[in-house]
Structure 1
Amino acid sequence: MSVRFFVLGVLYGKDAHGYEIKETARLWALPHWADIQEGSIYHALGKLETEELIMRHRVEQSDNNRPRHLYRITEKGERVFLHFLRETCRTAPVEKRDIDIALAFLDFLPPQERVSLLQERHDKLHRTRAELIERQQNTHHLSPNLHPWVETGVQ
């Protein structure tokens, strides 16, 4: 999933400012499963605006009195988003992960080390799942269209 696709998807659901999009990325725990870093969102907003896929709809005052821009997806952006959504569903390859390759070669390690590494991975995945469940409980304010994706990330 690209950061552009994510930003367009959030804005397809509703107008939002950069911090709100970044917060959605944090709640979704994107770095854990989508290879999207929260810091790349503002860069993507600038590129999408330059490409006229989104536009600044209006300026609001933030809590610290700084102006923040409310972004809205354009008609062109909607078309691009829906096309990308459809094509990704049709053609996206099966996910390939380094862990699958590592598991194929695990026999090259001593038995005790294999057990230790797999236990370490299990524990880390368990902690990550617990963190995602906690974040899932904080999604009540998200668009109803976004909530199922958070649940999918947890599962």
Structure 2
Amino acid sequence: MSATRLLVLGVVRMFGRAHGYQVRRELLSWSADKWANVQPGSIYHALKKMAAEDLLEKIDVEPGDGGPDRVAYRLSPAGEQEFQVLIAKGLSDPSASNAELCAAVSLMPALPRKYTISLLRQNLIHFEAEERRSRLSLEDDTWGKPPHVYELFRLWGGIASASREWLAGLIERLEAGEYVMADDPGSAFGPPAPE
């Protein structure tokens, strides 16, 4: 999965129709260039590639002022399906990269609240298991590891613990009604896609 792919699909979906500059401006306002390494060239490349894959439909082409034409895109039905798969994976799959998780969290208001919570709970189970595994590794001295290797297990446990605490807090905030989700009145993402 690619964080750029998810972000581009999500922003086009959020606007309903968008051109490359609009997508770029939105993602830069989220600082996605820093946490997901989304660069302007990768945005335009993703738009063209996903249009070629029939995930995006070109709906309007305006001549550029001495530069390239400005093309507006919207999600196709296949693009909506791809978006749903990528965001669900980003929120629930422990093998998703940090950038993919961040992209999915930034777009989670596109999903219904209960569905989002259920996806996040799947990831929470992973972080709880990682914490236990790191504790067991620290207690296990049967392999005669060099003493400094235990710092790796402490680091591993610390990352898992911080991730678990953050994720548990996010789930609590969602359960308490924070954030406007797709199935809430006033959602910026419109009605939720069928589950």
Fold shared per TM-score above 0.5 = yes
Write out per-residue CA displacement over residues 17-64 of structure 1, whole angstroms, 9 at most, x where no aligned residue: 111111112211112212222221111111101110001011235666
Q: Is structure 2 residue 30 aligned with structure 1 residue 32?
A: no
Write out per-residue CA displacement over residues 86-121 of structure 1, whole angstroms, 9 at most, x where no aligned residue: 12111144867xxxxxxx69xxxxxxxxxxxxxxxx
Q: Is structure 2 residue 3 aligned with structure 1 residue 17?
A: no
Q: Say if 1:82 and 1:94 are closer, same or farther in 2 by CA, change over 3 A.
A: closer
Equivalence for 1:73: 75
The one-letter code of the counterpart of 2:69 is P
Greater shift, 28-37 or 51-60, is seen at 28-37
Structure 2 counterpart SS, 1:39: helix
CA distance in 1, matches of 2:58, 2:97: 35
User: Contact 1:26 / 1:38 at 8 angstroms: preserved in 2?
Assistant: no
Equivalence for 1:5: 6
Count how many residue pairs are aligned between Structure 1 and Structure 2. 102
User: 5 Å matches for 1:103-114?
Assistant: none
Q: Say if 1:36 and 1:67 are closer, same or farther in 2 by CA, change over 3 A.
A: closer
Q: Say if 1:95 and 1:48 are closer, same or farther in 2 by CA, change over 3 A.
A: closer
TM-score (norm 1): 0.56
Q: Say if 1:87 and 1:66 are closer, same or farther in 2 by CA, change over 3 A.
A: closer
Write out per-residue CA displacement over residues 64-96 of structure 1, whole angstroms, 9 at most, x where no aligned residue: 686311101100000010111112111144867
Q: Could you say which structure has the larger radius of gyration?
A: 2
Higher relative CO (Cα under 8 Å, sequence separation at least 6) belongs to 1
Gap runs ≥5 in structure 1: 97-103, 106-142, 146-155
Q: Say if 1:61 and 1:94 are closer, same or farther in 2 by CA, change over 3 A.
A: closer
TM-score (norm 2): 0.45
User: Contact 2:89 / 2:96 at 8 angstroms: preserved in 1?
Assistant: no
The one-letter code of the counterpart of 1:2 is A
Gap runs ≥5 in structure 2: 99-150, 153-186, 190-195
Equivalence for 1:108: none
The percent of aligned pairs where both chains have the same amino acid is 33
